[in-house]
Amino acid sequence: MKHENNQIKIAIIEDHHSIRDGMAFLINSESEFTALPFSKAEDALPVFEKTTPDIVLMDINLPGIDGIETTKIIRNKFPKTLIMMCTVYEDDDKIFKALSAGANGYILKRAAGENLIDSIRQLLDGGAPMSVSIAKKVVSFFQQQSSKTIPESESLTQRENEILDLLAQGYRNKEIAEKLFVSVNTIRTHIYHIYEKLHVQNRVEALNKTGRTGINF
């Protein structure tokens, strides 16, 4: 990623001048880095057309185009540019919107001073730097997602769900057949397919697996 002058270009998009200046100072203190500071995305993006940065350090709460939308723009226009969010926000919504938009890392401002250069180097090495609290949230999110399954009822047809609803209300096969104007054999065939799809052995298991509890057989 080094250019002709042997320096890696690191853009900073941060509206608080003291934070922006502090980050620029740290970056420029490293001989292989050069900082390109901007107070808003509207100023940065036209410059990127001529001088594309290797890394962008991005605040989320920016005037005008916010950091998440800017991340989407950069990811689309400059796909090789690495993006690291550097923000005060650590709520789940902001984290996952930023990562979904294409951010490669996410660090908190309160820890940026002491870890900024290390995080940049980690990013350049192919890593995904994150503050400890952010990493915990990401891990927790994926653990929760892996424990979730698609509702079993979504794999069933409308008629099969209709039959399960009637079973949950206590109706027997013959009564269901009469209500749906079909034969008992047709209802039995539907129930057989329901059991197959849900991997269950009986109607109690089928009702429990699809959340239709409350009826005792």
String of DSSP letters for 121-176: HHHHTT---B-HHHHHHHHHHHHHHHH----GGGGS-HHHHHHHHHHHTT--HHHH
Q: Which pTM value belongs to this model?
A: 0.64
pLDDT (0 to 100) of residue 131: 84
Identical fold, 8-146 and 152-209: no
Q: What is the pLDDT of residues 151-206, one digit of tens each?
A: 555 678 999 999 999 988 888 899 999 999 999 999 999 999 998 888 888 888 88
Q: What single letter denotes the amino acid at residue 106?
A: Y
Q: Where are the domains of the chain?
A: 8-146, 152-209
Alpha-carbon distance 139 to 146, whole Å?
Answer: 11
Neighbours of 117 (CB within 10 A): 15
Superfamily of domain 8-146: Response regulator (3.40.50.2300)
pLDDT tens per residue, range 89-140: 888 888 889 988 999 999 988 876 778 999 999 999 999 898 888 888 777 7
Distance CA 175, CA 185 (A): 12
Q: Which listed CATH number (2.40.50.100, 3.40.50.720, 3.40.50.300, 1.10.10.10) goes with 152-209?
A: 1.10.10.10
